[in-house]
């Protein structure tokens, strides 16, 4: 990344995902504990799904608006405002001492982290089509690195601070990182949109695209596959922390280390191997191969294969490698194909809708996972694996009509891609 803008953008996304990763080993079990101490009208397992999913639900509501606004007023102001909300959200997380306060903090942070669509559009603005898949993979690498460092740091900070101060250490540390991120972006991230979109949509009309985008050829199918895949994947991170603590008595630091390994694998695949896979097997095959890898990885997680912690870590490591490779193949291929079938004037809007649909899946996945977990610990992973089999069938059907970026030369693309 010899372009300074890409470096700052990568750092912005990385810190967003670092903050998300920091709370992963702590949030589900913390939410379950606080819900048990409150008078919530639902059981503590369901409460975990509510809190974990609330972050992504807010992203779902805000990301399409941010994406559309970035087409109108530019990418830079959207990114800067979102970082400010992240500072506030993580500060509130640090001082939260009740279930309601914790839920409020996650809602604010979800609002602030709805900037991925603007970041994706920024990359499109400054990247020629031939390099788009590789640079979209950069976002995946930032996700991966956020998981490399975030969960272990969160677990260590929480353990170091103890039961009373651990959450403060986590919240204040992440808020400080976001503050540094804001300063760097303010001074070093210029605007990438040279000409604002003359099509001035009303902000609330952006949500109409949620209903229309499914009818767009190729893009609609990709949105459905994306929704199913992210729902299945998020069922794992929404319930695994609780599973690992209750079944294997892992500490927050131990849970953080497992998620850190997920991040290492994801960063290797999405940061270093995307170009190789794109060249060797092509975008369509990347999408096809990702589905069974994720299905198998999810299926292995709850199986009673481990008789001790050493065997447990080996089994989980194998599952994580499968999940990371599958996720690393699917995420950039979907983003790239959606971008390739979208006209320049609608990049922010369509990518914002894609991010919004993904956020809805990340909200639904943890909630569904904990409902199933309350019935039986292994159900979230068995259902997630079945969902990926459905996604594979849809992908195989779509592959007959999909074409690679180099083959897409349709002068009427803008007409059929607009969701106005």
pLDDT in tens, 185-228: 888 888 887 765 545 555 556 667 777 778 777 888 899 999 99
Give residue 206's pLDDT.
62
pLDDT band at 162 (very low <50, low <70, confident <90, very high): low
Q: 175 with 87: CB under 8 angstroms?
A: yes
As a whole number, mean pLDDT of residues 272-296 equals: 83
Rounded distance, CA 387 to CA 231, Å?
Answer: 8
N- to C-terminal Cα distance for the chain? 35
Mean pLDDT, the chain, integer:
81
| Rg value, the chain, Cα | 20
Given a cut of 90, is residue 298 above it in pLDDT? yes
pLDDT band at 358 (very low <50, low <70, confident <90, very high): confident
Rounded distance, CA 9 to CA 11, Å?
Answer: 5
pLDDT band at 97 (very low <50, low <70, confident <90, very high): confident
Give residue 21's pLDDT.
83
DSSP string, 355-413: HHHHHHHHHHHHHHHHHHHHH-TTHHHHHHHHHHHHHHHHHHHHTTT---GGG---TTH
Q: 8 with 195: CB under 8 angstroms?
A: no
The widest CA-to-CA distance across the chain, in whole angstroms, is 63
Domain layout of the chain by residue ranges:
4-191+208-404
As a whole number, mean pLDDT of residues 1-21 equals: 77
pTM (two decimals) = 0.78
Minimum mean pLDDT range among 37-41, 88-92, 232-236: 37-41
pLDDT in tens, 252-268: 888 888 888 877 777 77
Joined together, the tokens standing for residue 1 give 């990344």
Give residue 385's pLDDT.
95
Give residue 415's pLDDT.
47
Given a cut of 60, is residue 406 above it in pLDDT? no
As a whole number, mean pLDDT of residues 45-58 equals: 90
Give residue 414's pLDDT.
42
Q: Measuring CA to CA, which residue among 79, 84, 87 is closest to residue 119?
A: 79
Topology of domain 4-191+208-404 in CATH is Growth Hormone; Chain: A; (1.20.1250)
Give residue 233's pLDDT.
92
Burial class (CB in 10 A: 0-12, 13-18, 19+), 328: buried
């Amino acid at each position: 990344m010899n372009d300074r803008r890409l470096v700052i953008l990568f750092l912005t996304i990385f810190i967003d995902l670092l903050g998300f990763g920091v709370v992963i080993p702590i949030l589900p079990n913390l939410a379950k504990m606080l819900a048990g101490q409150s008078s919530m009208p639902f059981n503590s397992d369901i409460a975990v799904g509510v809190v974990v999913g609330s972050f992504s639900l807010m992203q779902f509501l805000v990301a399409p608006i941010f994406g559309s606004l970035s087409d109108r007023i530019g990418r830079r102001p959207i990114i800067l405002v979102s970082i400010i909300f992240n500072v506030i959200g993580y500060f509130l997380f640090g001082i939260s001492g009740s279930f309601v306060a914790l839920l409020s903090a996650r809602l604010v942070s979800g609002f602030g982290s709805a900037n991925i669509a603007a970041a994706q559009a920024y990359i499109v603005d400054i990247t020629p089509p031939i390099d788009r898949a590789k640079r979209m993979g950069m976002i995946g690498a930032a996700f991966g690195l956020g998981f490399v460092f975030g969960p272990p740091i969160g677990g260590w900070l929480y353990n170091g601070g103890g039961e009373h101060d651990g959450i403060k250490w986590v919240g204040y540390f992440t808020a400080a990182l976001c503050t540094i991120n804001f300063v760097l972006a303010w001074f070093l991230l210029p605007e990438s949109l040279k000409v604002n979109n003359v099509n001035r949509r009303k902000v609330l009309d952006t949500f109409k695209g949620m209903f229309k985008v499914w009818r767009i050829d190729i893009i609609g199918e990709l949105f459905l596959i994306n929704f199913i895949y992210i729902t299945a994947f998020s069922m794992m991170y929404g319930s695994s922390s609780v599973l690992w603590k209750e079944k294997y008595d892992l500490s927050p630091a131990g849970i953080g280390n497992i998620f850190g390994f997920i991040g290492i694998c994801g960063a290797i695949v999405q940061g270093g191997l995307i170009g190789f896979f794109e060249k060797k097997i092509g975008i369509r095959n990347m999408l096809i191969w990702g589905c069974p890898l994720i299905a198998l990885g999810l299926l292995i997680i709850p199986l009673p294969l481990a008789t001790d912690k050493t065997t447990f870590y080996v089994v989980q490591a194998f599952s994580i490698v499968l999940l990371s490779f599958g996720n690393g193949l699917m995420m950039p291929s979907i983003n790239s194909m959606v971008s390739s079938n979208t006209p320049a004037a609608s990049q922010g809007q369509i990518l914002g809708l894609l991010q919004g649909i993904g956020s809805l899946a990340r909200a639904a996945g943890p909630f569904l996972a904990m409902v199933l977990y309350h019935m039986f610990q292994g159900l979230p992973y068995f259902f997630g694996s079945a969902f990926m089999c459905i996604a594979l069938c849809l992908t195989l059907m779509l592959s007959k009509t999909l074409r690679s970026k180099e083959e897409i030369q349709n002068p009427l693309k803008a007409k059929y891609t607009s969701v106005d």
